[in-house]
Structure 1
Amino acid sequence: MQFTSEQLLDDGVLAREFTLGEIPGTLWTPASSAPVPLILMAHNNGLPKGAARLVARARHSAAHGYAVASIDASGCGDRPRSAADEQARAELRRAMQAGEPVDEIFESFIGPLVENAVPEWRTTLDALLALPEIGGPVGYSGWTALGIRLAVAEPRIAAAGLFAGGYVPRAQREEARQVTVPLLFLLQWDDEGNPRQRALDLFDAFGATEKTLHANLGGHTGTPWFEVEDGNRFFDRHLK
């Protein structure tokens, strides 16, 4: 891991860009003399680690006392996209806007994206936990499909906050029963891009004995800010 830049922000949080092989990432850390727990924060597929909503969440959690890290998955953010990736994204957007069935397009595009992202996140986790300022335990916050796969594959994940999406690959819907860590599941009731009933069915399928569903009115990007604060309290219970 090589840090390529750093900036001390107004809230006392240190933001550092890093590279790990071909993986670009950002690490936000609080002002602390002791090692702090870590939250891995992933945006939905295709959105960069520098997206404003993710950065705001990351800074808030870092100021609350967590190290927070995000990376760009292959083909996402500033990483190169193949012509096939661009075509698949365009076809998925077109089908969703037209109200056409998208399951098969979604499976062929998002399924491999999730599978390919998990090894990179695990490599990043190895490097982050080797830093003296990070002591664990580890939480996950963000994209549901990736969170499911990562929680199943990575035993160091102790708790997960998932932003509910009805469109989750079949493999992850089946894996949901294997997810036993404490969960906080956020659902936007009027999410135009994710069927509500699928999200409710997914919540029911999780194998965790401690799982909480927060549902709020509004569309996909309308998650209330107080859910970020509640998310910090959720991680406080399980990571501190």
Structure 2
Amino acid sequence: MTNHLIPDTPDVTEHALALAGVPGVLWTPASASAEAPAPLLLLGHPGGLDAIRQRLAARARQAAAAGFASAAIELPGSGSRPRLPHVDAARADLQRAVRAGEPLTDDVVDRLVLPLVELAVPEWRSALDELLARPEIGEAAAYSGGVLAIGVRLALVEPRIAAVVLFAGSAIPKATYVDARRLTKPVLALLQWDDENNERQAALNLFDTIGSSEKTLHANTGGHTGTPAFEGVDVNHFLLRHLA
């Protein structure tokens, strides 16, 4: 495990470590200690850690401002992990459809997303076992980010997750609508209205399907990676209500 301070952020320490044998990163605020453990955010993301590490660190810094620790692990088949040929083939089919302006079929979406859900959710749960055993991490946890189908399934099956922030920017299998209907935990969904990679109506349909009595949707203009920085403040307010 290697630790270092995030540049220009002396109150947040970044720890590179393996969680359940999977490459991962833990960010802890200076306020976190055995006497005052920090609530934990599991930062969902779409792939390898190296490619998205700066964006994850920025999210972790915003979370640390509210006293949260944050953690991320590498998705199966991404980054330094062994490739998943069947998922890569489905991704290639999806990219061909997008370039051709063709609608995505359920078959392509299922082949791309469902294997990641089945592999990643147990890994996240095992990582959570290790993270919550650390003295500086408290018992309260939440999921924040994508892949949307992973976040929905993890929030549904993991009792230690008290709330979920969903980044509505990924393909949605039909099975995720079934999971969402059973999800009753508080949900905040962030939607980029002009997302060039994903269908807006599918995200709206999923939000409508979620069974939670407390669910909120924030929609902002802009493309796939254009979520405004101020949403981090609103995410913190939402999580403080349920984790603090």
Aligned to 1:136: 139
Aligned to 2:195: 191
Aligned to 1:215: 219
Aligned 1:154-233 pairs, distance under 5 A: 154-165=158-169, 167-233=171-237
Q: Alignment partner for residue 5 of structure 1, among 2, 20, 30? A: 2
Where does structure 1 lack aligned partners over 5 or more consecutive residues?
none
Q: CA deviation at 1:166?
A: 6.2
User: Aligned in 2, Cα 1:234/1:36: closer, same or farther, shift over 3 Å?
Assistant: same
Q: CA deviation at 1:177?
A: 1.0
Local SS of the residue matching 1:13: strand
* In 1: Cα distance, 2:84 partner to 2:240 partner: 40
Q: CA deviation at 1:49?
A: 6.1
* In 1: Cα distance, 2:201 partner to 2:19 partner: 39
Local SS of the residue matching 2:41: strand
Aligned to 2:21: 22
Aligned 1:49-60 pairs, distance under 5 A: 51=52, 52-60=54-62
Q: Does 1:48 pair with 2:52?
A: no
Give the TM-score normalised by structure 2: 0.91
* In 2: Cα distance, 1:225 partner to 1:130 partner: 31
Task: State how many pairs are aligned.
Answer: 236
Deviations 1:100-151 (A, max 9, x none): 2323212112111111100000000000000000012111100111110001
* In 2: Cα distance, 1:88 partner to 1:203 partner: 25
* In 2: Cα distance, 1:159 partner to 1:49 partner: 27
Deviations 1:170-225 (A, max 9, x none): 11111101111111111111111211111111111101101111011111111111
**Percent of aligned pairs sharing the same letter:** 55
Q: CA deviation at 1:47?
A: 4.3
Asked if structure 1 preserves the Cα contact closer than 8 Å seen for 2:20 and 2:127, the reply is no
- Which amino acid in the other structure matches residue 194 of structure 1? N
Q: Alignment partner for residue 97 of structure 2, among 67, 92, 95? A: 95
Aligned to 1:68: 70
Asked if structure 2 preserves the Cα contact closer than 8 Å seen for 1:111 and 1:169, the reply is yes
* In 2: Cα distance, 1:120 partner to 1:168 partner: 20
- Which amino acid in the other structure matches residue 152 of structure 2? I
